Amino acid sequence: MLEIKDINLKFGDSLGEEDYIEPLTILLDSLKKEANLNLYGRLGVKYQITHQLRMRSSLYAYSKKNISIDPKETLFVTGLPRSGTTFLFHLLGLDENHRSPLFWEIRNPFPEVNKDTFKWKNKLRRTKLEFKVMKKVIPEIDLLHEMGPELPEECLLIHPLSVRSLSYIYMANIPTYGEYLKESDFKSAFLWHKRFINFISRNEEERRWLFKDPNHLRHMKEISECYRSAKFLRVKRDPKESLASICSLTYKVRKSFSNEVSKDQIGNFMLGYWEDALIKYHQFKQENPNRVYEVNFEDLIKDPVSIIESIYKEFNFEWDSNLKNKLVKEVKDHIESNNAKKHIYSLNDFGLNEEEVEKRLSI
């Protein structure tokens, strides 16, 4: 397992501000004492942490030479995990006026290369290989959400730049680090988020940025401090469905990396974590009602085109009639391709009951 002294020796002063030291120290200690990782887990965690810090070092070098620019328009899609946020994110991404980080950009943004060059193609091949290995280690990864090397990806994979990310929670039982995340200020995480966005869009014409991550529920205050233009979309779904699903997927991911996985521990942590996230969300919404718009999962599934139209009207986005045709076709294709996908789960498997979840998360 990595030690903080190894990190300091390897990267020295190249990691920029010292905001990473506290979360990294807690993460490494929690992994060492609590995670009970198997061989895949130890290798995977070591690779992920080292890879992300290497990216941070390169991004810091870039940011020292370039002024950070605040995008004019940003839209953040959020909601409890497994609540339809990926579907909405995908539909909104059909608008050519929207720009989202792509999986390959998040995984391998450096070195700087021009698109469609030999070096860029090599970078894409590397990302595809990493993705292939990930699918082999975690066969159920496609159930988390639609993923691919050249597809838009959520911000969960950007936050490790600040060593503050729920991605490590999905990989391992690290309750000490989990409690730290609940109380941690994510302002520095979104500083690095914006640095990353500045880098990947450095040679592009400006478009509206479209982001997605369930964890944005609990960090709207920090987001709005970093992105002054931020607007938020929340998808509301029956919390019993959302929580049971994310617990099941967390279990499937952890069992690939750990010698032993406690379903009750997963259920207890996830219930408390997302309850706290919703409390923070409602505090922000009450103070900033004009920056938040909510849609219901059932309405989104029943008539997604009308929901998209209502979002554009709410935020005064320009509506392109060609977009409606794209949406209609995409919805039809989505329904057909997802009819065969099944993800079976139950709250009882994770030591939870419907009444308690309903009481604590129906806010």
Helix axes 321-338, 304-315, angle to 10 degrees: 140
184/181 Cα distance (integer angstroms):
5
Pairing of strands 208-212, 98-99: parallel
> What single-letter amino acid sits at 243?
L
Pairing of strands 208-212, 230-236: unpaired
What mean pLDDT is predicted for residues 228-249? 94
Q: Which residue in this structure is represented by tokens 């061989």?
A: 39
The residues, ordered by sequence, that sit 6+ positions from 249 with a Cβ below 8 Å of its Cβ are: 81, 82, 140, 143, 144, 170, 343
Q: Tell me how far CA of residue 237 lies from CA of 5, 88, 149, 275, 358, in angstroms.
A: 44, 13, 28, 14, 11
Task: Please tell me the predicted confidence (pLDDT) of residue 4.
Answer: 75
Task: Choose among 13, 62, 29, 24: nearest CA to 160.
Answer: 24
Q: pLDDT band for position 82 (50/70/90)?
A: confident
Task: Please tell me the predicted confidence (pLDDT) of residue 329.
Answer: 86
Planar angle of CA 115, 195, 5, nearest 5 degrees: 105
Q: Which residue in this structure is represented by tokens 């860029």?
A: 120
Q: pLDDT band for position 145 (50/70/90)?
A: low
132/145 Cα distance (integer angstroms):
16
Structural contact between residues 201 and 73, judged by C-beta atoms closer than 8 angstroms: no
Task: Choose among 247, 282, 251: nearest CA to 268.
Answer: 247
The chain-wide mean pLDDT, for the chain, equals 91
Task: Choose among 80, 30, 91, 24: nearest CA to 52.
Answer: 24
Q: Domain boundaries in the chain?
A: 4-361
DSSP H helices in the chain = 4-11, 21-34, 39-65, 85-92, 103-107, 118-137, 141-144, 167-171, 175-183, 187-200, 220-226, 239-254, 263-287, 297-302, 304-315, 321-338, 354-361
Q: pLDDT (tens digit, 9 = 90+) per residue, 189-220?
A: 999 999 999 999 998 999 999 999 999 999 99
Q: Tell me how far CA of residue 24 lies from CA of 180, 197, 283, in angstroms.
A: 11, 23, 29
- DSSP for 25-63 reads HHHHHHHHHH--B-HHHHHHHHHHHHHHHHHHHHHHHHH
Residue 342 confidence (pLDDT) above 60: no
Q: pLDDT (tens digit, 9 = 90+) per residue, 239-250?
A: 998 999 899 989
Domain 4-361 indexed as CATH 3.30.428.10: no
Strand partners of residue 236 = 296
Residue 336 confidence (pLDDT) above 70: no
Can you read off the two tokens belonging to residue 268?
Answer: 């207890």
What mean pLDDT is predicted for residues 34-48? 92
Residue 282 confidence (pLDDT) above 90: yes
